[in-house]
Structure 1
Amino acid sequence: MTLTTLIIGVAITSALITGLMMARKQEIKNPLISYLQNFTGVLFIFSGVVKAIDPLGTAYKMEQYFSQFEVTFSETALSFIAPIFPALATISIAFSVFMIVFEIVLGVMLILGNRPKFTAWAFFLLVFFFLILTGFTYLTGYVPNDVNFFAFGSWSSFNEANMKVTDCGCFGDFLKLKPKISFFKDVFLMIPAILFVWKSKDMHQLFTKKTRMFAALGTTVLFTAFSLYNFVYDLPIVDFRPFANGVDVRTGKAEQVAKVSEAPIFFIYRNPQDTTEMKQFSDEELDKIPEGWEYFDRIQDKIETSKLFDFVNIQGKTISKTTYLMYDTGDGEPYLELSPEDTLDGLEPGWVLVNTKEDEQVIDADVSEQILNNPNPHFMIVCHDLKKTNKSAFATKIATLQKEAEAKGMEFYAVVGKVGTEEVEEFQKGMGIDFPFYIADDILLKTIVRSNPGIVLWKDGKIIHKWHYRHLPTLEEINVTYLK
């Protein structure tokens, strides 16, 4: 779905609601205001519901905003505001659930016309809040990395790489919008927001006051419970992310890597006589570079990629095997050992290959390709934050699954974020865990599974299934259901 198709769907739905109201002779004081009530109400309900399916996604996004706001304000005269944002980050999940439910309830109140003046101002303030987020996301593209956002005189031309938060999360992972589109969407929504405040007396009201009140209250209770279900009790009921069940991560990543590598490269040259004059040339146009011009930079067309592209840099201990060739003259002299990197040049006559020796060393390496290329079923335990993970899940369900899996010869390992090697070793020792632990970017791990810990069953580069730690089945049940 695109934003255009979404807007068309919302517009048609709103027209049908407005038409039904007119057919039932509901009191409509201002047809335009009534239509806008229905339009914004439907839009907010839809936007809130797709985020309620995955409230942790919104929480993680708000953590990014709070982190950037802290840095931004700490360098200004408003530095006294900066400490607020780390405090908000500690309650980002509660904050996000509140905002999601509030958005849905506000959508219902707009359609029903519940408490017009309050609803009008609440809508205005919420849209203004969204405008701050999307505006910050988009406008930081004009702010060089070494410049504060509020140093407006030092802004430069737009560069997407400068953006501190890459997308606003307006529709969660269901629909990704470019920051510019998100920003202007909220600019547009300020029009009905201002109209509602100005013309709140013209807003329609459906049913009785008591009915409207119970509808708002019921919506609050229902979607608070629904939001909590989707991360406290289980994984989101619908997975909009790239690492959904059944996704072939290896193939998807390979396709994206190929697209990026094939993206056209352009070379930028500038006139030494006038350094503001620059031109870009493709590979085929290099012979057209004016004589005397200087190379300045090179750029590559940006290819849209998903988090599949970022399935890299999973660091862990792995075994490096080296085979040494053992040569002997047969006269009792010591063996001559040659590694695969050595050559036979200069080897004296009479030396005969008599044996080989395997040498194993444990080294640090990126094991992401090893994971993707494992043809056998294997389990990945994902912990984006080892300090906050549910330790009882490790001690009970995960420990049981590990024993069952290893008895069947299935590989079993954990991938964790936000820690160093010492913290991992301390955790393993404290929990009595002997399976391997790898370290990866916590944002990648949050994207893979919305549980801490979460359990992922892989096979041949494909995600077979994922589980919240509260709903981890036995290996026998997994074999029957997913590995027939």
Structure 2
Amino acid sequence: MKYIVQICRIFVGVLFIISGFIKLNDPLGFSYKLQEYFSTDVLNIPFLEPYALAISVFVVVLEVVLGVFLLIGYKRKFTIWMLLGMIVFFTFLTFYSAYFDKVKDCGCFGDALKLTPWESFTKDVVLLVLILVLFYGQKYIKPIFKTLPNTIIALLSFIVSLWFAYHVLMHLPSIDFRAYKIGNNLSDEMAIPETASRPVIEYTWTYKINGEEKTYVDNGSGPAKYDEVINVETKEIDPGFIPAIQDFTIESNDEDLTTYFLEKEHLVVVAMYNIYNSEKEGLEKLKSFTDDAIKKGYTVIGLSASGDEAKQQLKTDYSLNFDTYLCDEKVVKTIVRSNPGIFILKKGTVVNKAHWNDIEDIELEILENANLSLDFELKKELDEIYALDQGIREIYFAKSKEEKDAIAQRIGIPIKENALDYMSLWGEIDSINMIKVEKIVKDYGYPGKSLVGEPTNKAAWYVIQHSQKIEQYLPLMKEASSKGELPKHLVAMMEDRHLMYNGKPQIYGTQGRTIGMKTDNPIQIIWPIADVGNVNSLRAEAGFLNTVEENAKRLFGDDFVFKNYTIEEVNKLDKTN
């Protein structure tokens, strides 16, 4: 019994220290796991969620300290009772999680080692048995050192553990076990190899044939003969290959920009899982850092799960010169354990990460495309112009009065009593914006990438695109595009719109029309294309990422079937509708 107790003592003590240290390295990550347990879907004790971080630190420090106490034989009764209490609680938790399939990963070893719920429960049962051996054989647990050295070691274990927890909370985990660690390429971590195993799904079909109800189990093909399928149940037998990163996206309101940004040569990302919960001191540091990054040639974006209103408020309150895109909250929390935090990518590979406390320590090189004289005042003016240009159009498409009012408040226009009254502002805003843009063009020429950066270099284009002065400014746009100041595909869109306004066939297939909007049978068409046979090649040369057929579905819905009309056919449709 004496030797069995010593073996159990070493095994349990070392395991508690390792498990505790891994979580101590990332107490914020463990707190997220506790929040998951506390949620209404699991234990239904949401009142504890605000205290998850404090509980996390307490538990992981206690875990390490108890492991040390056990190894050195310090206060054996207290130590064993505490170990027993903890393992009973965690055994219940992992059983509940496994039996009711509530939490997929217990977080016992943080991100270093993922265990399934049943594996976690099995591990806790084994530990429970070992601790019970210690409980009944505690008389064999003797202190390794005398009283004073034992007390000093015990006290030091507590102080060092507490200090380490504080250190990683104020900076970042010392060891990064996540798929977003420095050196990893996000595209590679998301990729599924062609040779990867596929999910195996078992299908149970309940069906009737010749009036008799039967069941049939297969891989999805279904019974060969049947009169009626009553029900189909599926069960996952094998999940197949699961990539390390599954839900990482960078999205605007209109499109998925993940691939676009992961191909950027130098990308700085400001991660804020929840803007309203971000540390104010950290937000105050963002402007100088991100402005410096933009001037040095980096593309800078934000990433958050917060809504448009919060993103715009952040940009306004702190005079930030970058846009924030949408990403799942859990993913942003995983990327960097700081709110806000910084991570830097080079063609999708993580080259640096930092807590907001350490922003000053990040040294950014001056890139070849640096523009140290970027005009942020002009950029701010154009960003405000763009916000109004797009905002008034968002109001038009918003379905409810509440949505329209929220957008109006965000872009700084008066809230109207009647939803239709917003439309009276459309023309007024476009006219004022055009006056401002014309003055800017007169003073600076076209405000392109080298003057105001991206995506602000598109702001003037939007305003002119929505005006009656396309013909006047199209040559200026072409010149700006030839110098790399404006994307080629935007000039292509403007050229198509100019041709359509003048009743001529377009080149790139970007423009659509609805004929007979006031009739019972409106007809949606893509405006006639001059060279439809080569249009997709021309689109690719201009920088479009989709075909004319895909663009048509984007404009008019997935059921839309592209057909190229002639000008004569369109004129005839106009007359008959």
Q: Normalised by the size of structure 1, how large is the TM-score?
A: 0.69
Aligned residue for 2:18? 46
**Distance change >3 Å, CA 287–CA 41, structure 1 → 2:** closer
Q: CA deviation at 1:108?
A: 1.0
| 2:7 matches 1:35 | yes
Contact 2:186 2:350 in 1 (8 A): yes
Contact 2:296 2:365 in 1 (8 A): no
Aligned residue for 2:199? 263
Q: Percent identity?
A: 28
Distance in 1 separating the partners of 2:278 and 2:201: 44
**Distance change >3 Å, CA 138–CA 264, structure 1 → 2:** closer
Q: After superposing the two structures, state which structure 1 stretch, 210-219 or 296-305, moved more.
A: 296-305
Contact 1:455 1:467 in 2 (8 A): yes
* Secondary structure of residue in 1 paired with 2:276: helix
Bigger RCO of structures 1 and 2 (CA < 8 A, at least 6 apart): 1
Distance in 1 separating the partners of 2:314 and 2:302: 12
Distance in 2 separating the partners of 1:204 and 1:277: 67
**How many residues get paired?**
365
Q: Normalised by the size of structure 2, how large is the TM-score?
A: 0.58
Contact 1:377 1:458 in 2 (8 A): yes
**Distance change >3 Å, CA 64–CA 110, structure 1 → 2:** same
Specify the code of the residue in structure 2 equivalent to 1:263: P
| 2:301 matches 1:409 | no
* Secondary structure of residue in 2 paired with 1:255: coil
| 2:110 matches 1:220 | no
Distance in 2 separating the partners of 1:270 and 1:113: 62
- Report Cα offsets for 1:383-415 as digits up to 9, x if no partner: 11212212333333x212222222233211111
Contact 1:117 1:201 in 2 (8 A): no
**Distance change >3 Å, CA 290–CA 39, structure 1 → 2:** farther
Q: After superposing the two structures, state which structure 1 stretch, 42-51 or 130-139, moved more.
A: 130-139
Structure 2 unaligned runs (5+)? 370-577
Q: CA deviation at 1:370?
A: 2.3
1:195 alignment partner, one of 133, 145, 154: 133
| 2:326 matches 1:389 | no
2:73 alignment partner, one of 102, 113, 120: 113
Matches within 5 A, 1:406-445: 406-417=294-305, 419-445=306-332
Aligned residue for 1:478? 364
1:205 alignment partner, one of 118, 143, 150: 143
Specify the code of the residue in structure 2 equivalent to 1:203: I
Aligned residue for 1:96? 56
Specify the code of the residue in structure 1 equivalent to 2:293: A
1:237 alignment partner, one of 171, 174, 181: 174
Matches within 5 A, 1:68-467: 68=40, 72-73=43-44, 82=45, 85-86=46-47, 88-141=48-101, 164-232=102-170, 234-255=171-192, 259=196, 262-270=198-206, 272=208, 278-282=215-219, 286=221, 289=224, 294=229, 296-298=232-234, 301-306=238-243, 308-312=245-249, 314-317=250-253, 364-372=254-262, 374-396=263-285, 398-417=286-305, 419-467=306-354
- Report Cα offsets for 1:305-357 as digits up to 9, x if no partner: 35511113x3325xxxxxxxxxxxxxxxxxxxxxxxxxxxxxxxxxxxxxxxx
Specify the code of the residue in structure 2 equivalent to 1:254: A
**Distance change >3 Å, CA 200–CA 266, structure 1 → 2:** closer
Report which of the two structures shows the higher radius of gyration computed on alpha carbons.
2
Q: CA deviation at 1:168?
A: 0.5
- Report Cα offsets for 1:80-119 as digits up to 9, x if no partner: xx4xx42x22121121111111111111111112122111
Distance in 2 separating the partners of 1:50 and 1:388: 26
Distance in 1 separating the partners of 2:312 and 2:213: 55
Specify the code of the residue in structure 2 equivalent to 1:62: L
Contact 2:267 2:345 in 1 (8 A): yes
The Cα RMSD (Å) is 2.9
* Secondary structure of residue in 2 paired with 1:268: strand
Q: CA deviation at 1:166?
A: 1.4
- Report Cα offsets for 1:419-453 as digits up to 9, x if no partner: 22112222221112231011221110011111111
**Distance change >3 Å, CA 411–CA 297, structure 1 → 2:** same
- Report Cα offsets for 1:53-101 as digits up to 9, x if no partner: 11111111011111147x655xxxxxxxx4xx42x22121121111111
Distance in 2 separating the partners of 1:39 and 1:464: 38
**Distance change >3 Å, CA 264–CA 472, structure 1 → 2:** same
Contact 1:270 1:279 in 2 (8 A): yes
Distance in 2 separating the partners of 1:247 and 1:63: 28
Specify the code of the residue in structure 2 equivalent to 1:66: F
Specify the code of the residue in structure 2 equivalent to 1:100: V
**Distance change >3 Å, CA 474–CA 236, structure 1 → 2:** closer
Q: CA deviation at 1:299?
A: 5.2
